[in-house]
Amino acid sequence: MSARRQLSFDDLGTPLAEATLVVVDLETTGTDPAADAITEIGAVKIRGGEVLGEFRTFVDPERPIPAYIASLTGITDASVAGAPSIRTVLPMFLDFVGEAALVAHNARFDIGFLSAQAAACEISWPRPRVLDTLALARTVFRRDEVRDHKLSTLARHVGASITPDHRALSDARATVDVLHAIIERLGAAGASTLEDLGTAHRRATPTQLRKKHLAAGVPPVPGVYQFLDAQGAVLYVGTSRNLRSRVRTYFTAAETRRTVLDILPRVESIRVIECATPTEAGIRELRIIGREKPAANRRGLNPQKAHWLRLGPGGQGLRAARLAKAETDGSAQLGPLTSRHEVEPLRALLTDAILGRGAAFETSSHREVTADGHRARLRRAILEDPTEVLDHVATRLRSHVEAGRYEDAEKLRRLAHTYLTAARRACRLRALAEVPLLIAARPSTEAVIGGRGWELLAVRHGRFSGTTLVAAGKDPLPFARSLEMTGAGEADLAAPLCQGYHQEAEILLSWLEGEGVRTVLVDGSWQVPARARFDQDHLARRFARTGSAAEA
């Protein structure tokens, strides 16, 4: 425990001279994170005024770049031809960021795009601390000093070494100079920590100031925190790699969420659960939310609920299901889906693709699929190979595009994305749920005695069973044997496709698919499920083939 405490922030916060910051700027195809895409990412990592590294890459937006955007940025379809997709770039960018705070000019735009893309790609967004140089500049540079707070205006005002030109890395470099000028101004006013900088443009509420003492004594370790009322009822649950640092932010101006501010007057104490690793903390947070259902945790309030599209056994057709079942009877399932409203469009897509256009309107969801060939093709599209469905989608997409029906094309593309995402999720959950016991190791991101070592994780049928840290140079096998003796009761709660605990399983899957993971012990067989078949790139390749065929 003491080794982890060495990583904690100072009681008064993180000194600005020691804070690692990543200044980021994006170029995109538009302004809507839900509908537009990233075309370029530029970032500069700094600490104490020194540049530690830079990150810059084009990103294939997988759609045409509007002419006015190309004119503004100079980034054209030719510029991004052959560039990696955001699914490839985003993990690389997050690795570059590490545990640094993110800085952006108008951070709502840049961070909004990054977090939206992470959600769309099913990549865990780490929720880093975010600083907005636009908001800070409005506090530091008054209108009698600058005519506006555009990056170009500020860069010129502070004498930045780089002129912003609507290219990601140039703009990020210019933002670094603006940030340093802001820090110089605020430093003279007494701001000395990262926390001071993050709240310089806001003020804490009287309730936050009055309740601030509740954070005293919270340890600086990974874990879960619970806000309790006078009767001990759980009002809110959260998790952090550093409990002390995270909990203290709730009583500063950095906390602005209405759902949290509304419960603070009722908070009388804070309970913490120290965890060996952030992974364990994330699992315990999910389980507590599922059990206690605190009102302020609106997202994930019922983590056990899910929606599935199920191909029933025998001659049964496709229908909605709330519970995943064993597939040993010849059935097959897609999901979990994010909403029940996705079920019917997916059923129509699969039915049209396998049985023919219009079949979805002629066949009710309860009618039997009588042809063995049709049934086998549906099952293959759900479990193994989406090619037949994607060929159907690609052909219709080409028809829509050539006819200028771009809204219809985008609607179909999103439906195909929903299908691929659901099939990929089911593929991963299915594979993990079938393993009675898996113990794996990966290089630890936490400090242990003797330096960085190994983080061991035990999983039973997709449920968290235990974890521990092993110092570098020590044999992890004895620790794995100890984990093998714990958590046996988790197997009694196992369900097909991790039904009822899929969110927990997906946290574990993300861990198992990380860099440097090694299998230590396994009961049965395990391999990270191949997911390339159910990938957006597969649809892009099928669509490209329709264009080649038309030209031929």
Residues 6+ positions from 530 with CB-CB distance below 8 Å: none
Q: If you search the block for the tokens 């293959």, which residue do you land on?
A: 380
406 contacts: CB under 8 Å, gap ≥ 6? 400
Question: Residue 484 burial by CB count (10 A; 0-12/13-18/19+): exposed, middle or buried?
Answer: middle
Is residue 507 within 8 Å of 283, Cβ to Cβ?
A: yes
Query: Closest Cα to residue 91, out of 428, 537, 514?
Result: 514
Angle between helices 86-97 and 107-120 (to 10 degrees): 120
For residue 392, indicate whether it is catalytic: no
Give strand pairing partners of 28.
38
Assess contact for 476 and 454: CB atoms under 8 A. yes
Tokens describing residue 8: 């904690």
Task: Please give the full DSSP string across 508-532, using - where no structure is assigned.
Answer: HHHHHTSTT-EEEEEES---PPP-G
Token representation of residue 21: 């910051």
- Look up residue 128 and give its two tokens: 């880093």
Q: Are 540 and 398 in contact (CB under 8 A)?
A: no
Contact 522, 435 (CB under 8 A): yes
Comparing CA positions, the residue from 316, 335, 283 lying closest to residue 497 is: 335
Please tell me which residue in 166, 180, 201, 417 is annotated as part of the active site.
Answer: 166
The edge-to-edge listing of strands for the beta sheet with 223-228 is: 234-240, 223-228, 269-274
Catalytic residues: 166
